[in-house]
Structure 1
Amino acid sequence: MIIGHRGVAALAPENTLSGIRKAAECGLNWVEIDTQLSADGVPVIFHDDTVDRCTDGEGKLGAFNVSALKNLDAGSWFDKAHTNESVPTLEETLSFCVDEGMSINLEIKVYRDAQVAPLVDAVSAVLASSAFPAEKLLISSFSKDALLRCKAAIPQCRFGFIADKRNISDLHAFDDVGLYSVHVDHRMLTPELAKEIKGKGYILNIWTLNESEKADAFIAMGVDNIITDDPTLFIPKQPEDARCQRPSVRSVQGKFL
């Protein structure tokens, strides 16, 4: 399975509704997106700690209330065709994904330990009020504390540990979380590590692979899902379908991680 990274970050502004729509047009069933809190405690869809890279604003995301975030342009940095794209709230994103038939890998994006409790509590409240189908949701995080708090608040959900070279040694510490999946930086996945993860019964996802020629080797290791910025590299599309097209390289170069 191919999962769109931050929507589809190579084809549309990341973590936006237009990015999720583009993922659906490309034939994807899943997108990975990030959530953080606005200054007034509203979960919004955004990756960075600051708004500088992906909007026309400046400063810490957590310093903006939700109305101020809505007034930022979160699209024209990517392409002028996306001018006035807004930062979506989690609530409107869940509703949008229901309409689009999309499933969500929702990352609880934690930059500081103090963010865990208020963010998880707010996300849990939004999920409870939205009645988003649990089978269409996977919650992931680098933070064990965030996953444990999510498990206590929304035990019906599935949970994934995000691993890179900084924290892969903590894998055993997550045995008590009841993980569904482990999401590994593809640059550090080895056959031995893959065997260990699969031996624990976990679904194995890799991020963020944008080189289709490497896919077979990862699949041979037991990788279940590939998270990518550009699904067009992996999924053939019909020639007459112009909806799932890459923008010019110049318009996105250096703008997505």
Structure 2
Amino acid sequence: MITGHRGAAALAPENTLAGIKKAVASGIKWIEIDVQLSADNIPVIIHDRTVQRCTNGQGRVGDLNLGELKALDAGSWFAAEFAGETIPTLEEALLACQKYDLNMNLEIKTYCEEAVKPLVDKVIETVGTINFPIEKLLFSSFSAIALAQCQSLYPDVRRGFITETKSADMLEELKPLALYSLHIDHRILDEVLATSIKDTGLKLMIWTLNDPTKIDKYTAWGVDNIITDKPNAF
């Protein structure tokens, strides 16, 4: 029930192949990573809209082509031992998950509405090219539009809605998406909300919990999966 957040974000640079390896070494079976499109429409694994925080480069991900993104050092910011680590493509990440028998929670990262359709199209195309097992895949997003697009083009894939807010109408509004799971910030989850979510039949996932002493509280509320930067601690 443990998912490594952005690979294993406390143990290695986030959203890298090194992070996936650290997650594997922790003994878990799930990782969560983020996908966006490069300027030349290649799905790449990175969280932020820009490359500044997690590489030695500058600029928006969507303004840089794959060659420019691959030339960046995505590891030194975390620790010297990861110098030269690169931004992976989605294809590379999928192949790594196949190699290590990992399940992938792939967050469709959208920063503008017009980018949603091209991103979802390329993600689904890449998954098909790799022939990644659908039973080991979950698409998640803060964007209901992205999830609706996934539902339309790839209805058999599991879909999860990510939220950091709660409202009385949220669960009703999400019904048309036929979701598999709801992924909620653990800081806003309470027992009443957890019960409401579970009563709909959805799987309940929380992010980003890094304190393993709290696991009993959340499992008692019916939480199915914990997304954490520290899979080794759990």
TM-score, scaled to structure 2: 0.97
Gaps of 5+ in 2: none
Q: CA deviation at 1:18?
A: 0.7
Over the aligned positions, Cα root-mean-square deviation in angstroms equals 1.1
Gap change, CA 1:214 and 1:169, over 3 Å in 2: farther
Q: Deviating runs (4+, > 6 A) in structure 1?
A: none
SS in 1 for 2:44: strand
CA distance, structure 2, for counterparts of residue 161 and residue 73 of structure 1? 31
Gap change, CA 1:216 and 1:124, over 3 Å in 2: same
Equivalent residue, structure 1, for 2:160: 160
Partner amino acid for 1:12? A
Partner amino acid for 1:176? P
CA distance, structure 1, for counterparts of residue 18 and residue 169 of structure 2? 37
Equivalent residue, structure 1, for 2:127: 127
Q: Aligned runs of 1:187-202 on 2, under 5 Å?
A: 187-202=187-202
Equivalent residue, structure 2, for 1:210: 210
CA distance, structure 2, for counterparts of residue 17 and residue 92 of structure 1? 8
Does residue 5 of the first structure (1) align with residue 5 of the second (2)?
yes
Aligned-residue identity in percent: 53
SS in 2 for 1:204: strand
Partner amino acid for 1:127? V
Q: Which deviations, in whole Å up to 9, do the C-alpha atoms of 1:162-185 show, x marking residues without a partner?
A: 011277853321101110000010
Q: CA deviation at 1:130?
A: 1.1
Equivalent residue, structure 2, for 1:68: 68
Q: Which deviations, in whole Å up to 9, do the C-alpha atoms of 1:67-116 show, x marking residues without a partner?
A: 11000000000001000101000011111110111110000001111111
Gaps of 5+ in 1: 235-257
Equivalent residue, structure 1, for 2:43: 43
Q: Aligned runs of 1:62-101 on 2, under 5 Å?
A: 62-101=62-101
CA distance, structure 2, for counterparts of residue 100 and residue 168 of structure 1? 41
Name the stretch that deviates more: 65-74 or 149-158.
149-158
TM-score, scaled to structure 1: 0.89
Partner amino acid for 2:158? R
CA distance, structure 2, for counterparts of residue 9 and residue 77 of structure 1? 12
SS in 2 for 1:160: strand
SS in 2 for 1:150: helix
Q: May I ask how many residue pairs the two structures share in their alignment?
A: 234
SS in 2 for 1:231: coil
Q: CA deviation at 1:117?
A: 0.7
